[in-house]
Amino acid sequence: MRILFICLLITLPLFVLAQNNNAPSSYDIHDIKITGYLQTQFQVAQSPGIFSWSGGDFSPNSSSRFMLRRGRLKVDRVDKFSSVVFQLDGTQDGLRIMDAFIQFHNPQDKSLLFTAGLFNRPFGYSIVYSSGYRDFPERARVFQTLMPRERDLGAMISYRPKKILHFITAELAVVNGSGLNARDYDSNKDIIGNLNFKFDSLTNKKLHVGFGASIYKGTVRSNTDTYLKPVENGFVSVTDESNVGYNFRRDYYGANLQLEYNNSFGSTTLKSEYIQGKQPGVAASSSISGLAASQSFATQPTTNLYLRNFNGYFIWFTQQIAHTKLTAIVGYDVYDPNTDVDESEIGKVGSNTTAGDIKFSTLGYGVTYALNGRLKLTIYNEHVHNNGTQLTNYQNDIKDNVFTTRLQYRW
């Protein structure tokens, strides 16, 4: 395996450390510090019982709901040689651990960090960026599908030079691959690398630029003697006893870009991230929705694997309104779980395609209003689109748009 792709994250000033989930509130030596945020929201769906990435699926007979989207309580402590971070998430669905990791560092130079425990996968930009600071209600559909709940268990080495090449951070992680709060269901481990650069204060401190590349090399174990490999406009099944216990490749390649310009009208930002690769999934069925068919697994998949080539991306644009507390936001994201098939061919007899192969795009727009330094109101509307297929329930665009009003308090 010749993957030693160095990963870099953005070198951030101390106040931005809070925006990086894989860090304490500050690396200055301190005793127990408690931070967190609460997000409460009201949502209206275009039709009852829709499958959705905007905070989860709606109940079968409901098209509106109040919910606690996130209730984070983060405890951290930093001493001369190490730091510890422990974060909980409490919602109407219960309480769960989100982060639990220990970091070691040289007391004279914190450029090199070793992290062990449960932490955000160090892939790209949006996965590690805290939901308490993100302008948009949710991460893009493609990242929610491939890396659900963002975290994994493992170990990571980070290098953030403080003097020479201070605009670079490098991270290399080895993780279970089964995600947050999940036990590893095979002996293989996944490798993640992320390489990013950040240049602040360009053109008289008005322009800020960040960009980078990422890689994920992993596997998914097959539990059956049959898998489905992609061909033009569908899949063909391959059956062999040796397929039982075989580990199929799970490979992602990504690139990201962030631009911020402080102009006379207010701060303007453009953020984008692209990802493509191979994702072993399953077929959509009566028990597995099309949204979940290409999702990464937390437990051993028991049905035949479908090997899909995928791609996806998002573009986020924000514009502060005349240096006020009001910001306009526009987002667009696309996730194509199967780039080898056209939507018009999905469901065709003999193609072995299912709803798990449908491409979705989402156009969102809205505003945020920072009532003060801690309290923020977000109003956001999402238009979700898919082309028609030959499948009975997916011959036209699904009525799955979502409107969200959210109030967030951060401390």
Instruction: Residue 386: name the closest of 336, 340, 314, 331 by CA.
Output: 336
Predicted pLDDT of residue 10? 33
**Dihedral through CA 23, CA 295, CA 394, CA 344, nearest 10?**
100
C-beta of residue 394 within 8 angstroms of C-beta of residue 407: no
- How crowded is residue 386: how many other Cβ atoms within 10 Å of its Cβ? 18
Predicted pLDDT of residue 322? 94
Question: Looking at residues 391-402, what average pLDDT do you find?
Answer: 96
Predicted pLDDT of residue 12? 35
pLDDT greater than 60 at residue 301 = yes
pLDDT tier, 221 (very low <50, low <70, confident <90, very high otherwise): very high
Percent of the residues in the chain that have a pLDDT greater than 90, as a whole number: 86
Task: Give tens-digit pLDDT for 275-285.
Answer: 999 999 999 99
Predicted pLDDT of residue 375? 98
pLDDT tier, 180 (very low <50, low <70, confident <90, very high otherwise): confident
Q: Tell me the pLDDT of the chain averaged across its residues.
A: 93
Question: How far, in Å, CA of 339 to CA of 276, rounded?
Answer: 10
Question: How far, in Å, CA of 118 to CA of 4, rounded?
Answer: 22
Predicted pLDDT of residue 16? 43
pLDDT greater than 70 at residue 99 = yes
User: Angle at CA 316, nearest 5°, toward 258 and 328?
Assistant: 115
DSSP alpha helix (H) spans, 114-201: 141-146
pLDDT greater than 70 at residue 244 = yes
Predicted pLDDT of residue 2? 41
Question: How far, in Å, CA of 216 to CA of 120, rounded?
Answer: 13
Instruction: Residue 128: name the closest of 147, 109, 108, 153 by CA.
Output: 147
75 vs 18 pLDDT, higher one:
75
Question: Looking at residues 248-271, what average pLDDT do you find?
Answer: 96
pTM of the model as a whole: 0.92
Question: How far, in Å, CA of 10 to CA of 168, rounded?
Answer: 6
Question: How far, in Å, CA of 341 to CA of 235, rounded?
Answer: 9
Range with the poorest average pLDDT among 11-25, 76-90, 375-389:
11-25
Task: Give tens-digit pLDDT for 10-20.
Answer: 333 333 455 88
What DSSP line would sit under 208-270, residue for residue?
Answer: EEEEEEEEEEEEEE--SSEEEEEETTEEEEEE-GGGTT-EEEEEEEEEEEEEEEEETTEEEEE
pLDDT tier, 216 (very low <50, low <70, confident <90, very high otherwise): very high
pLDDT tier, 203 (very low <50, low <70, confident <90, very high otherwise): confident
DSSP letter (8 states) at residue 189:
-
164 vs 258 pLDDT, higher one:
258
Strands 305-320 and 226-231: parallel
Predicted pLDDT of residue 18? 55
pLDDT greater than 70 at residue 396 = yes
Partners of 377 in the beta sheet? 369, 407
Instruction: Residue 294: name the closest of 358, 231, 234 by CA.
Output: 358
Predicted pLDDT of residue 9? 31
